[in-house]
Amino acid sequence: MRGKAFIIMILSGLCSLSLCFPREYHVVEYEKNWTDAQTYCRHHYKDLATIASQEDVTMLSHALGNCQRHAWIGLYNDINSWRWSLENTSYYNEGETEFRRWKSGEPNDYSRIEDCVKFRQGKWWDDPCSKKLHFICYNALGSHRFHVVKETKNWTEAQRYCRENYTDLAIVRNEDENTNISSLVRPANTFVWIGLFRVFWKWSDGSTMSFTNWQQKPDGRQKETCVVTSSNGKWLVRPCSERKSFVCYGAAKEENQPQWILKRRCCKSCERKVED
C-alpha cells in the first residue's frame, strides 16, 4: 500500500447528500498511523470520521467491504480527559475548570477503570466509579455551597442525588474551596466523591459520543487507544502507532486538494483512482 493513495468518495445514492446523510466521507487508502491520519484529514477535509448513526455505519460498511478491511476513524481513548459533572461554564472563571490537587502519583489508573475522583484531606485520587463512598454536593443557590452526604453511593448514584437535591456533585475551582471541603469532611480521613470524572472515548472533532458500534465493548483495561472500523461496520481498538487506511469527513478544502482526489459524484458503489 505504501507509495500509492486511493481516495474513495462515499456519497448517498441518487439523492442530495444533505437530505440523506449529515456527513460526506472520504476513505483514504494511504496507510498512516492514527495521528498522521488525523493531520491529513484536518488538512484536506474537516477531520477524521465521526460516526453518529446506523446510517453512517451502513454507508461506510458498503464501501469498506469492497475496498479494504480496517480503517482508522476519529474515535480515540483520552486518558487525560478530566471534566466536571457541572458543565455549565457560567459557574467557572478563567482557568477554574483546570484546578487540580492530585495526591502524589495520582491519577494512576491503577485498575485501568479508574474514571472518577475521590477526595480526602485536600488531596485527590482516581478510583473506579462503582465504588460506594460518601460524597459532596454543590449548591449554587444556598448560603452554604457544599454539603456532605453521609450515604454510601457509587459515583453515578451520587451525581443523581446531588442533581435532584442540590445543583450537582461538588466542583472544586480553587484552593479556598479545596480547603473548605476538607474542613467539612468528618472523620477527616474519610474518602468522598467529588464531581470530577473522565470520559475515555472521544471523537477527534470534539463531538459527543452518543452512538457506539463496538464489535466487543472495551473493558477499560486495554492499552490500545485508537479505533478502526471494520468491513462489517464494527469498531475495534488498535495501537495508534499501526499504519492503516483511514476515513475523513467534511467537504474537501479545494486549496489543499491532492491531485488524485475524485470529483464529487452521486453513486451507490465506492470508486477509486490510483496515483503511483
Same domain, 158 and 256: no
Asked which of 179, 198, 217 is the last residue of a domain, the reply is: 198
C-alpha distances in Å from residue 204, one per residue of 44, 152, 154, 209, 237? 15, 36, 30, 11, 15
C-alpha cell at 175: 484552593
Asked which of 146, 166, 198 is the last residue of a domain, the reply is: 198
Do residues 228 and 71 lie in contact, with contact meaning Cβ atoms separated by under 8 Å?
Answer: yes
The CATH number linked to 253 is 3.10.100.10
Asked which of 148, 164, 198 is the last residue of a domain, the reply is: 198
pLDDT in tens, 236-249: 999 999 999 999 99
Domain span at residue 262 reads: 5-78+203-275
* Whole-number percent of the chain with pLDDT over 90: 59
- 43's CB contacts (< 8 A; 6+ apart) are 253, 256
The overall average pLDDT reported for the chain is 83
pLDDT in tens, 9-56: 544 332 333 334 456 888 898 899 999 999 999 999 999 999 999 998
Confidence of residue 269 (pLDDT cuts 50, 70, 90): very low
Same domain, 33 and 96: no
Do residues 167 and 141 lie in contact, with contact meaning Cβ atoms separated by under 8 Å?
Answer: yes
Q: Is the pLDDT of residue 152 over 50?
A: yes
| Threshold 0.95, pTM exceeds | no
Residue 37 C-beta-side C-alpha neighbours within 13 Å:
32
